[in-house]
Structure formats: C-alpha cells, structure tokens
Amino acid sequence: MRRIVCVLVAVFLVWGIGLASSRKGTKGIAAPPQVIERVKTMTGGKGKILGVEKAPFKGFYIVFIRANNGRLGVLTVSEDGKYVIIGQIIDFSGPAPRNIVFDLAKSKGYLKPPKPKKINMSDIDLKGTALVGKKSAPTIVLYFDPTCPFCKREMSTLKEMVKQGEISFYPKYLIVHGKGAKEKAIEAECIREKLGNEAYFDYIISGKKPKKLPKCDREAISKRIERDSAEAKKIGIMGTPSWIYQGRLYVGYHGRDEIKRIIDKGKNAKVK
C-alpha cells in the first residue's frame, strides 16, 4: 500500500532520487578540497558536481550532483569532509517551514520541475464545495490536509492571492494525518460556512479558533471530506498540498511567483 504524505515538492531532492538537472558545468562557489574529495568518494566518481552553495549553518556546503542517469542529487558536507547530511534541510525559524535544499536548487537553476500530470476534470466532484474567492478569478482545485505544515504555507499564499483577486479555489481535503486532521477539517468547514473566509483562513493557518464553534451539519461535512480523500487517491494524488489548474496536477508547495507563472502560462495558452 502506497503511503500518502504531506510534501513540499512532488519528488524529494535526495541522492539517487530526483529530477533531471537543467544546468551544465560547475557553478556556485568554490568549496574546500576536502568537501570535493568527500563527494567524489561517496559517489565513486560517477556523479558530476554541478555546483556548490553555502549551507545556512556555518561550516557546511550543499553540493549538487548529476548522476550518470541524469538525476539530480544533493549532499551537505562539512568543510573538513568528515560529516555528510543526506536529504533535506528544513528551516522552522519562520512562520512556516522552508525547505532550504529545494529553495536553493530552484533559485540557482539546478532543478528542472517535472511536467504536470493531466487530470480528467470530469473525475472531480465539486458538489457541496464552496468557491473561495471571486468567480471571475482563475480557479484551482486544492487538495490539502489542515494539519500539514506545507499546506498551511500554501494556504497563507492563497489567502493573499484571493484578497488581491488573483486567484480563487475550491478547498477539498486529502486527510494524511488521521482522525485529528479530519476533525480539524470538519471544524474548518463549519467555520467557513458560518463565519466566512477570513475566520476560515485564520483557523487553518494559525489555529485561531472562535470562542464558540458554530453549529453545522457535521455528518454531511464528514462525508464530503471522505469523498474528497477517496477522489484524490483515485486520480493518483499521493501528497499534500496538491492542486489542479486547467486539468494539470501540481504537487507540493508552490510560492506566489510560481503560482502566478503557471496561471499566466495558462492564460497565454488560451489566447493562442
């Protein structure tokens, strides 16, 4: 049975698992020879170093590598070459968690995102799902778990975009974290239905709960959440947040600039 997870990106950037690199040649900063030697030793000389960037903590370097099969890998190595971190570096110092490795890979051009999967929109049931935002704005269908940290970060982005009239969305649920997450989803929908979008966003993003929860049809909401989760799995969504725009599936957190880029691309495609 495949596991459903709360993810930042569709494919984690880990050595041996990744995406095709979009860069050629070595870029970034110069690294101590001990770092380069450690990387060569660990890869058996089979991976090509694309570039080196400073880690957010002193004495470590993030090394991006392209394997012979074209995949992108990453190793975080101490300046003396004695210590190696394989995997992600998550920064929890801000209002929402931030994946340092992914952000660097994306901003420096090491990462080429995968082509979004095509989705048959007739498989999406929006009955009973209220639209958040203006009908005239570009609309996405969002699947999320209200307890997923990256979902909260995505929701924070969408909140500002909705305020600016840049986007609207249908909130649908893919419960990743069990009964507690489902209960929060039910409460969130009650708040949205009775108190409006602002209270809804406050509860999802920061956990701000009204003094008294409004009464609502919890059974109907629960069934709708179960429908959404089953629907998400049926169309192949295995991570949150995930959203669909113009029949294309985008998995993992996407910042405002990336969301705008995708939407603008869709608008241009319509004009052609």
Could you tell me the pLDDT band of residue 4, with boundaries at 50, 70 and 90?
A: low
**What is the end-to-end Cα distance of the chain in Å, rounded?**
43
Could you tell me the pLDDT band of residue 104, with boundaries at 50, 70 and 90?
A: confident
63 Cβ neighbours under 8 A, 6+ residues apart: 31, 35, 36, 39, 49, 51, 52, 74, 75, 76, 77
> What pLDDT sits at residue 21?
36
Is pLDDT at 10 greater than 50 in this prediction?
Answer: no
> What pLDDT sits at residue 14?
36
The correct CATH number of 5-107 out of 3.40.630.30, 2.60.120.380, 3.20.20.70, 3.10.450.70 is 3.10.450.70
Q: Where are the domains of the chain?
A: 5-107, 117-271
Mean pLDDT of 10-22: 34
Is pLDDT at 1 greater than 70 in this prediction?
Answer: no
Which is it for the CA torsion 127, 130, 134, 138, positive or negative? negative
> What pLDDT sits at residue 113?
61
Q: What is the pTM of this model?
A: 0.66
Q: What is the DSSP letter of 122?
A: G
Q: Which of 36-50, 60-74, 186-200 has the highest mean pLDDT?
A: 186-200
> What pLDDT sits at residue 267?
72
267 vs 127: which has the higher pLDDT? 127
Q: CATH fold of 117-271, please?
A: Glutaredoxin (3.40.30)
Is 175 in contact with 225 (CB distance < 8 Å)? yes
Mean pLDDT of 136-150: 94
